[in-house]
Amino acid sequence: MRLPLIIALFWIGSTLGASAQADQYDFVVALDGSGDYTTVQAALDAVPDIRKAETRILIKKGVYKEKLVLAGSKTNVTLIGESVKETVLTYDDFADKLNRFGERIGTSGSSSFYVYGDGFRAENLTFENSSGPVGQAVAVRVDGDRVAFVGCRFLGYQDTLYPHGKNSRQYYKNCYIEGTTDYIFGWSTAVFEQCEIYSKTGGRYITAASTVESSAYGFVFLNCRLSGDAPKGSVYLGRPWRDYAQTVYIGCTMDEHIVPEGWHNWDKPNAESTAYYAEYESRGSGAAPDERVAWSHQLSPSEVQKYDVVTVLGGWNPNEQTTVEP
């Protein structure tokens, strides 16, 4: 008689566990049909427009091949993956791909995921452009304001991550970002904290900021690890896509693939006087402050004080999960 009792107790426990899990989320996405939706886009579309409260969406393990759009009307959406390496949102467009009219879709058209909604947050997910080394191919383009990614992976080659919105503030914490050329690029103000920035063989530049002239900050890397399988002395920290590019590395560990000169002017000598490239206490075999280009900066202890997360992000504290007011 004990075996049926054990089975019954197990069934009750499993049912209660599943119910408790469901109660934590507004929607569940599962490829096997066990959730509310089988596609991520269907769950995003189901979010009420201009919602002031957070909408929490659990995405169960699986590879979801979808070209995703979070509309600007979908505010305060949080996506949570069941497993960062086993919950993959992917698509395979690339800039030279042709649309139905025979036109190139371009870099912006290549993105696997477009984030337009303010207050978006993602945790424990992999975002991928799976087209391979075929030129510009974006995994995620972000236009929304107050957007955060925590414990996520961004996989691709050229132009992997596109912080695009000119007034957008973004935060990346404990993330893994890989690519070859200009694989973190765009206009936005973005903080990368305790992230791994992985340079794959075949590329030469990590960042290509196009910071707006009036912006106080561009890309800021705090206590990150710059690693990769690129050859020794082959990768630059950044180059200016636009003349007023800003990129700063603070307390980062740099492996030997980093070029001793550190920075490249994109063959635009005039940009040397307008772009702002700086470091503070870089360490590792790729750190060479005495060999950096003369037009870059080594910050003083007093200068580095203005690069705390909240200050860079204009008063927004991404570690306090508050919603935006639509």
* Residue 290 designated active-site: no
DSSP 124-176: S-EEEETT-SSSB--SEEE-SSSEEEES-EEE-SBT-EEE--TT-EEEEES-E
The residue annotated as part of the active site, out of 182, 243, 290, 308, is: 182
- d(CA 88, CA 65) in angstroms, rounded, equals 8
Strands 253-254 and 153-155: unpaired
- d(CA 245, CA 315) in angstroms, rounded, equals 22
- d(CA 102, CA 97) in angstroms, rounded, equals 9
For residues 287 and 262, is the Cβ–Cβ distance under 8 A? no
- d(CA 243, CA 268) in angstroms, rounded, equals 8
- d(CA 63, CA 280) in angstroms, rounded, equals 39
Strand order in the sheet with 205-209: 68-70, 113-115, 140-142, 161-163, 181-186, 205-209, 236-238
What positions carry a catalytic annotation?
A: 182
